[in-house]
Structure 1
Amino acid sequence: MKMNKLIIAIIMVTALAPGTGCRKYLNVNTDPDTVQEPSASSVFPAMLAAMSYGLQRDGRYISKYVGNFHSYSTGISDAAFDTHGYIFSSSNMGDMWWMTYYSLGNNLNYIIEKGLQKEQYDYVGAAYALQAWAFQSLTDQHGEIIFKEAWQEDTYYFHYDSQETVYKGVDTICRLALQYLDKAAAMTATTLKTGDYSYQGDIKKWKKFVYGILARNYNHLSNKNGIYNADEVIRFCDSSFTSVNDDFVTPFDATKNENSNFWGTYRNNMGSWRQSNFIIQLLDGTIFAGNTAAENRDPRISHMLCTSSDTTNGNGGYYGINPGQSEQYVSLNPPASYLVNGQPPTSGTALTNWQNARKKTVTPWGDSTYVNPSSGVFNDATGKYLFRNKAVMPVMTYAELQFIKAEAALRKGDPGMAHDAYLKGINAHYDFINRSYSALRGAVNIYNTNPISAADRNRYLTGASVKQDPGSLTMTDIMYQKYIALWGWGFLETWVDLRRFHYTNDPDPAAPVYKDYVLPATFSQGFPAYRVRPNYQSEYVWNLDELTKLGGTKSDYHTLECWFSKP
């Protein structure tokens, strides 16, 4: 048994080593008359798809750490994450690990190698950009990771590197990406457009994306006195996206399971997820304006969130869940449309439908939608916001970068710049919702029926929920608006923010930045989560000795703070 495991491990390691990979391993029976080297353009689309897949699969669980969603019942396995727990011996939250080392992994190295040989510097630069993004995302999720030895040949045990080393390494990879993208820009013809479904080969946008990665990298170090540099963060933001047309999003064809949005109705992966009370209160006027009067409700709420059949609660019928709490039924008379001969049904489908109609909370797939309306069916009409089969998956947005700039400017002591970026960030998220996405492989729009009107946007921007002058702007205002803009997709960046501010403790436990944020009443391991355990199916099986050195076998490992958030 041990020998069999060793042989499998050697095959896996060999398959991930540069210069070998699955390609060479499978070339044992190569036909010399058949070309065995795929073009970069044929490999690149799979890289874009892998990004979304990793983000979305792990994002389902991180969404509970950050309070975007919570489980509808404390009795299901996913509920462990609501209380900042972790399911030890499972592949849950191991997909970003798989994405970085395998799905992207040597495929990116292959694109770089062949791109250099053929002087396809646009592909080289884009591949380095994706590699930098992957390592940045992975270290922000896991802390210490394998970096220097990621694809080292003839290696059985892979050593972990400190997060500080990875952060510096991401900076270096970004510089390489910019170097080759500049080289490509100087050429008369480029080839990236053929396989690039996100930017259609636009090198300027790829450069902006790289600067966005650098902005994240530098901004995450806000607690590091002597290292954090607000001016550099601002410079990177200014060199990055200038409108929502620069947003990095990946489209889905939605013609089969593998190319359909992981959160859409077809794939049915969000059935137990329910919107949180925190996001509702950010949008219904409770937190910003102090009440839920109609004029204080953010018009984005009807596009992002879903309302219950019960609309009598004073905020338009939006109900949510706090972490560790099950959903409840509304105490109303049964909806007339679900009655049988004027009486509540007593059995069968009619009873189930009636009970569902009385629930306070709904799925992310639509108003008054308590179960998946079209599981296993490719229907562009079902779903809502980003939870549709053909909705795009954002990776980085202009709105996010403006909020990063606003934070850096406020830290620098420039409230005027901070307020300008803050307003641009809010407007950018409105534009994100209103944007037409059909040019991206026929992607569906994410707004609800009609775009947000100029009148509704102006009402909100001039109302009590938005600070009207630089002098009154606070870090809480910036981070709460950033939370809204990242809700439903930017789980990892939101988690970085919450950890940088130590959830509800910083800068002053009596007046924290995330003062309204709801943590579970009881934590699974006594403390909030600060990292994700490395992939169980690889590290705990093949690389356990190295992981043990980090303390990775301890039950509370995922509560240990990462380097980036420490002073």
Structure 2
Amino acid sequence: MKNKLIYILIVFFSLTSCEEYLDVNDNIDAPAKVDGYLYLAGVTQQYQNIYYDLRAIAPMTQMMGTTSYSNFASNYYNLGSDAGGEIWKMTYFSQGQNLENLINQSIAAEDWTLAGIGLAMKAFSWDLLTKVNGEVPMNDAFVSGLLQHDYDYQKDVYEQVRKWAYEAIEMLEKTDDQSYGDKLTNNDFIYGGNKEMWIKFSYAVIVRNLASLTNKTDFSGTYAQELITAAGKSFQSPSDDATVTVGAGSQSAPYSSYNNFWGTARGNLSYSYFQHDYAVQVFTGTVPEYEEATGDKIHILDGNPYYPVELADKQIITDTLSNELGHFDPRVTVKLATESNPTYLNLNNIDSVKTYQYYGGTFTGKTGPIGQAPSFYGRTLTSQYQGTVNDGIGRWIYRDDAPYILTTYSEIQFCLAETYWKIGQKAEAFEAFKRGVSADMQTTARYIRTGSEGNATGGDKITTGAFNSLASEYLNGPYAGGLPLADFSLSHIMMQKWVALYPWGAQEAWVDMRKYNYDIDYTGDVPSTGNGFVHGIVEQKKDTDPSKVYKGFYLAPAQVEGRKGSYYTQNEGSPSYRIRPRFNSEYMWNIPSLETIKPISGTADNYHTSIPWFVYPGDLPQ
């Protein structure tokens, strides 16, 4: 990638002057028109903002714990801050009018490929925006001269997202009258101007959009077939995954933002973020058993300090029988961090790799139930990129030169598997499930950068060869290909999807967890005060409940050991279901529009607990 990332953040104003010498329309520093392709590089690079906001979203999925965005980890009351507002900023400002200009100018010039790319990105960004924030200003978004922008309801935004995606496909299927030369290859940091890939990406957006609606009462009749059709036209293998290339360069980069947001050079993960104890339990097959009456773990006296409690009989991802063929999931060695093997020895030795130990923190603390979580780079220290012992440029996707992952073939296959499950086609669901797991192994392996043998200077603590060997065993083992169809469940689909999304896709994992209402035990349409939660307690399904999707997952106020906390009083007992609109725009100047949102006003203290339309089995209550 050339070091010429073009960050074009130009706001065009239509100005009329009475004096010729005051006319700015011919000013070379504020041109009347910028060629459409010149917007493309800057627009694509703004997807780094997703990783900004994952610091807020990932803790709510229990992928991460944090000492920084601790209010989000506590399911969150955050009025008065822009934290968690980067996706909002990206959609309305960083991409915003620049993306609108790219699309509109390209359509006017009949540059169909460029227009299609723009519409595909618009559909992706707005799908993400509404899933995170719920109701948003859409029809008024880029209308000039307005002092107040009315909000559109999520149902309408969802329909428009798919319309933009289908329009993108229509544009991309047209024949251009011109050759773009290197205008697209040099400025499209996702697919290099490959229109066939952008068509697949547009169908992927449709799949992701519809997959959040699987609990709608009309899903089978209204949405399922559309999703299945779109999945068939979307990504065909992990080589189709959508990622944004970054310039990198670490400390020698012209600008620090050339590096991945999660790399060591930018210091954003540092040691303020760490893997949650739930993530460790899922990846290592150590989801504990809880006593039904008390919610306490069953502690083993004089037992192994790494396994101090009884484990649930039914694990979903893996178990602790790592020496049995196909039981060890090698993704743990890459996606999670470990202090084991600090000098990077025997990285190609499978038996050595299997001995690594993993520890997770709590919602807001580094010390979890069995030990202290390391940083995502593998040390219980703030990240350093220099010195005798250091983290180098990072590891896996927590690396200066790692791309930003937008969506993958694996994710699409899990969306398809869930859809087949919901319409009663279990065999088809199982086949899509197996493709999803296999694809995530390939996507995970792609970003392995093995550390230097014997040197404590960062990198992954496994070779690609060892990973692929273990992956092959796992894919034929009892938790994937060898799983009996009779034992196959919705939990297998959704928890494997959670693992596949870890942690780059936390925003979609949060969609799924909200869609299943965090496995809260309630009756009726959705949880409510006194029906699933009260101020200090959330009633969640027990792991033994066959209808519980995320085995081992308990919210902070759940009555099990290691939880038993409480939310902010403003939550009125409920977990968060949306992130508020960005404070520095909406709560500064768009209050009248926020106040009109129903069923909970956007200015209410508990607006972040307002359940979105995609979660309701039917329409929003009035």
1:535 equivalent to 2:549? Answer no
Report if aligned partners of 1:391, 1:446 keep a CA contact under 8 Å in 2: no
**Structure 1 stretch displaced more, 457-466 or 171-180:** 457-466
* In 2: Cα distance, 1:29 partner to 1:463 partner: 67
* In 1: Cα distance, 2:244 partner to 2:448 partner: 11
Q: Which residues in structure 2 correspond to 1:265-276 (within 5 Å)?
A: 265-270=264-269, 271-276=271-276
Q: How high is the TM-score relative to the length of structure 1?
A: 0.82
Computed over aligned residues only, the root mean square deviation of the Cα atoms, in angstroms, reads 3.1
Distance 1:319 1:35, change over 3 A: same
* In 1: Cα distance, 2:441 partner to 2:14 partner: 46
Residue 259 (structure 2) aligns with: 260
Report the alpha carbon displacement of residue 116 of structure 1 after superposing the two structures with TM. Answer: 2.2
1:65 equivalent to 2:60? Answer yes
Q: Which residues in structure 2 correspond to 1:60-209 (within 5 Å)?
A: 60-71=55-66, 76=67, 78-184=69-175, 192-209=184-201
2:489 to 474, 485, 497: 474
1:416-447 deviations in whole A, cap 9, x for unaligned? Answer: 21111111111101110222799xxxxx9989
Report the alpha carbon displacement of residue 78 of structure 1 after superposing the two structures with TM. Answer: 2.0
Residue 391 (structure 1) aligns with: 402
Q: Which secondary structure state, in structure 1, belongs to the residue aligned with residue 274 of structure 2?
A: strand
Report the alpha carbon displacement of residue 171 of structure 1 after superposing the two structures with TM. Answer: 1.4
Residue 413 (structure 1) aligns with: 424
Distance 1:503 1:156, change over 3 A: same
Q: How high is the TM-score relative to the length of structure 2?
A: 0.76
1:301 equivalent to 2:332? Answer yes
Q: Which secondary structure state, in structure 2, belongs to the residue aligned with residue 564 of structure 1?
A: coil
1:259-296 deviations in whole A, cap 9, x for unaligned? Answer: 21111111111131110122222221233377423233
Residue 42 (structure 2) aligns with: 46
Q: Which residues in structure 2 correspond to 1:23-42 (within 5 Å)?
A: 28=24, 30-31=26-27, 37-42=33-38
Q: Which secondary structure state, in structure 1, belongs to the residue aligned with residue 263 of structure 2?
A: coil
Report if aligned partners of 1:115, 1:124 keep a CA contact under 8 Å in 2: yes
Report the alpha carbon displacement of residue 31 of structure 1 after superposing the two structures with TM. Answer: 3.4
Residue 282 (structure 1) aligns with: 282
Distance 1:267 1:325, change over 3 A: closer
Counterpart residue type for residue 101 of structure 1: Y
1:493-541 deviations in whole A, cap 9, x for unaligned? Answer: 1110001101123799444111311311322322111001101000000
Report the alpha carbon displacement of residue 35 of structure 1 after superposing the two structures with TM. Answer: 6.0
* In 2: Cα distance, 1:194 partner to 1:549 partner: 45
Report the alpha carbon displacement of residue 192 of structure 1 after superposing the two structures with TM. Answer: 2.9
1:326-376 deviations in whole A, cap 9, x for unaligned? Answer: 51698xxxxxxxxxxxxxxxxxxxxxxxxxxxx7211112x3352212289
Distance 1:100 1:485, change over 3 A: same
Report if aligned partners of 1:233, 1:405 keep a CA contact under 8 Å in 2: yes
Report if aligned partners of 2:316, 2:491 keep a CA contact under 8 Å in 1: no
1:125-166 deviations in whole A, cap 9, x for unaligned? Answer: 010111111111110001100011110121100000010010
* In 1: Cα distance, 2:476 partner to 2:208 partner: 30
1:517 to 532, 548, 553: 553
2:225 to 231, 255, 273: 231
Residue 336 (structure 1) aligns with: none
* In 1: Cα distance, 2:203 partner to 2:37 partner: 24
* In 1: Cα distance, 2:184 partner to 2:275 partner: 39
1:77-125 deviations in whole A, cap 9, x for unaligned? Answer: 5222112113221110111111111111111111122212332111100
1:430 equivalent to 2:441? Answer yes
1:228-265 deviations in whole A, cap 9, x for unaligned? Answer: 53222111111100111111101111222122111111
Q: Which secondary structure state, in structure 2, belongs to the residue aligned with residue 57 of structure 1?
A: helix
Counterpart residue type for residue 337 of structure 2: C
* In 1: Cα distance, 2:427 partner to 2:134 partner: 35
* In 1: Cα distance, 2:425 partner to 2:29 partner: 65
Unaligned runs of 5+ in 2: 1-9, 16-21, 287-314, 343-351, 450-457, 524-540, 558-565, 618-622
1:504 to 504, 515, 519: 519
Distance 1:528 1:80, change over 3 A: same
Residue 364 (structure 1) aligns with: 376
Q: Which secondary structure state, in structure 2, belongs to the residue aligned with residue 170 of structure 1?
A: helix
Unaligned runs of 5+ in 1: 1-14, 21-25, 331-358, 439-443
* In 2: Cα distance, 1:399 partner to 1:232 partner: 19
Report the alpha carbon displacement of residue 69 of structure 1 after superposing the two structures with TM. Answer: 0.3
Counterpart residue type for residue 330 of structure 2: P
* In 2: Cα distance, 1:187 partner to 1:514 partner: 51
* In 1: Cα distance, 2:24 partner to 2:96 partner: 22
* In 1: Cα distance, 2:391 partner to 2:281 partner: 29
* In 2: Cα distance, 1:33 partner to 1:397 partner: 40
1:443-478 deviations in whole A, cap 9, x for unaligned? Answer: x99895434544311221233333523332111000
